């Protein structure tokens, strides 16, 4: 990596990728950076191949050595001080900014300040859960990090939480006007969680979100 420059970004930010279709039409799409800021200029993306989607297919099919143009980093979906107990809510690839934030936070006591961090992560099936083993390891190592995967169509063997993520928000957030929440995923899910938090008395200023659609 000698000679490569550090790539500066804040955990939670995204990049804009640009690619031309065969008819010449130029497409840009946003993708969150899924790794924490580091000395290493490489970064990770968490990609879902959307059916009939051009850019997600293009990115998923890239081979080592292929190139694509991108701009950024962009975005204000980042951790906002002061640090408080925090609930992160994601579904699917909405996990990407939280993987970046959580690794960044947990790498240094002065960043998380011992605050309690919950991750509610919703998917359909067990096989869909990105970074499952990684978050299980992290939650075993870190007493203040609480990993709560939720499956809407879990098999009979699944012993974890079931249903939709918002059904599990009250057990963490009820009566807690002193916390922050960050929500990331598709519009419907973001809306459901914001409404739920407001219905249990949260101030909307304590809730930040990023919509993918
Ligand atoms: C700030 C931001 C960050 C994002 N970060 C990520 C990320 O980290 N990883 C990631 O995979 N995506 C991410 N997205 C979504 C991404 O930008 C694209 O929308 C997605 O990859 C689809 O693009 P496409 O060109 O493949 O499909 P398109 O041609 O744009 O869409 C094809 C069809 O699929 C539907 N569709 C679009 N997006 C989705 C979706 N996410 N799930 C299901 N159906 C969809 C569309 O309504 C359309 O009907 C992010 C979006 C935003 C705004």
Is the domain of 163 the same as that of 59? no
Domain count, the chain: 2
Ligand 1 within 6 A of 47 CB?
yes
Ligand 1 within 6 A of 9 CB?
no
Q: What spacing in Å lies between the alpha carbon of 15 and ligand 1's midpoint?
A: 13
Across the beta sheet with 207-211, what order do the strands follow? Answer: 161-162, 145-151, 117-123, 86-91, 180-185, 207-211
Domain boundary among 74, 97, 115: 74
Whose Cα sits closest to atom 47 in ligand 1?
Answer: 213
The pLDDT, as a whole number, for residue 128 is 97
Is the domain of 118 the same as that of 138? yes
Is the domain of 91 the same as that of 134? yes
Q: Ligand 1, closest atom to CA 75?
A: 1
Q: What spacing in Å lies between the alpha carbon of 213 and ligand 1's midpoint?
A: 6
Specify if 7 maps to a domain: no
Q: Which domain holds residue 121?
A: 86-211
Is the domain of 135 the same as that of 108? yes
Specify if 9 maps to a domain: no
The pLDDT, as a whole number, for residue 4 is 64
Ligand 1 within 6 A of 212 CB?
yes
Is the domain of 109 the same as that of 136? yes
Is the domain of 53 the same as that of 136? no
Is the domain of 145 the same as that of 199? yes
Whose Cα sits closest to atom 24 in ligand 1?
Answer: 53
Specify if 124 maps to a domain: yes
Specify if 196 maps to a domain: yes
Q: What spacing in Å lies between the alpha carbon of 190 and ligand 1's midpoint?
A: 15
Mean pLDDT in runs of 10 for the chain (213 residues)? 73 97 95 96 96 96 96 97 98 98 98 98 98 98 98 97 98 96 98 97 97 97
Is the domain of 192 the same as that of 103? yes
Domain boundary among 45, 74, 103: 74
Domain boundary among 39, 54, 74: 74
The rounded radius of gyration (Å) of the Cα atoms in the chain is 18
Is the domain of 120 the same as that of 40? no
Is the domain of 47 the same as that of 101? no
The pLDDT, as a whole number, for residue 7 is 85
Is the domain of 56 the same as that of 105? no
Is the domain of 61 the same as that of 133? no
Specify if 1 maps to a domain: no
Q: What's 117's domain CATH number? A: 3.40.50.80
Q: How far is CA 196 from CA 162, 181, 186, in A?
A: 17, 12, 16
Write out pLDDT tens, residues 90-117: 999 999 999 999 999 999 999 999 999 9
Q: What spacing in Å lies between the alpha carbon of 188 and ligand 1's midpoint?
A: 14
Ligand 1 within 6 A of 119 CB?
no
Q: What spacing in Å lies between the alpha carbon of 90 and ligand 1's midpoint?
A: 15
What are the DSSP E strand ranges found in the chain? 14-20, 26-32, 69-74, 86-91, 117-123, 145-151, 161-162, 180-185, 207-211
């Amino acid at each position: 990596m000698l000679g490569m420059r550090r790539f500066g970004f804040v955990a939670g930010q995204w990049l804009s990728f640009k690619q031309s279709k065969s008819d010449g039409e130029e497409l840009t799409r946003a993708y969150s950076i899924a790794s924490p800021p580091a000395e290493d200029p490489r970064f990770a993306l968490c990609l879902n191949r959307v059916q009939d989607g051009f850019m997600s297919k293009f990115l998923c099919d890239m081979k080592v050595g292929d190139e694509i143009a991108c701009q950024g980093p962009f975005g204000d979906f980042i951790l906002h001080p002061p640090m408080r107990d925090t609930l992160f809510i994601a579904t699917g690839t909405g996990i990407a900014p939280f993987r970046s934030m959580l690794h960044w936070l947990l790498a240094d006591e002065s960043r998380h300040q011992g605050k309690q961090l919950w991750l509610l992560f919703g998917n359909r099936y067990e096989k869909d859960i990105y970074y499952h083993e990684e978050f299980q390891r992290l939650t075993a190592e870190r007493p203040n990090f609480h990993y709560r995967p939720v499956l809407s169509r879990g098999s009979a063997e699944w012993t974890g939480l079931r249903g939709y993520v918002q059904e599990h928000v009250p057990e963490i957030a009820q009566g807690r006007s002193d916390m922050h929440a960050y929500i990331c995923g598709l519009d419907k899910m973001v809306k459901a969680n914001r409404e739920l938090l407001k219905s249990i008395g949260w101030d909307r200023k304590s809730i930040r979100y990023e919509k993918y659609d």
